[in-house]
Amino acid sequence: MDISQAFKNIDNKLWKGGVANALDYMEQSSWILFLKYLSDQEENRLFEAELEGKDYQPVFQKQYLWKQWACK
């Protein structure tokens, strides 16, 4: 999926979910992107730890990971 399609999907879900105005839309979109950024950082740290042969303790519990809830 390309980035423009990802934003269209976010748009559709937010509007269907009851986001009524542009300000709410921007606020919710910003949070979604921020949570995705945090998830990507977590995956990068895990990958680096694996490369170095170190244990890694995740910041987030499994049920809060992006891939557990956002991709459904």
Residues 20-65 have pLDDT tens digits of 888 888 898 888 889 889 989 999 999 999 999 999 999 888 888 8
pLDDT at 4 over 70: yes
pLDDT reported for residue 66: 82
Residue 9 lies inside a defined structural domain of this protein: no
pLDDT reported for residue 10: 80
38 contacts: CB under 8 Å, gap ≥ 6: 59, 60, 66
pLDDT reported for residue 72: 63
> What range defines the domain where residue 33 resides?
20-69
Count: domains in the chain: 1
Q: Using CA of residue 67, residue 43, residue 3, residue 23, what is the dihedral sign?
A: positive
Residue 36 lies inside a defined structural domain of this protein: yes
pTM given for the model: 0.71
pLDDT reported for residue 47: 96
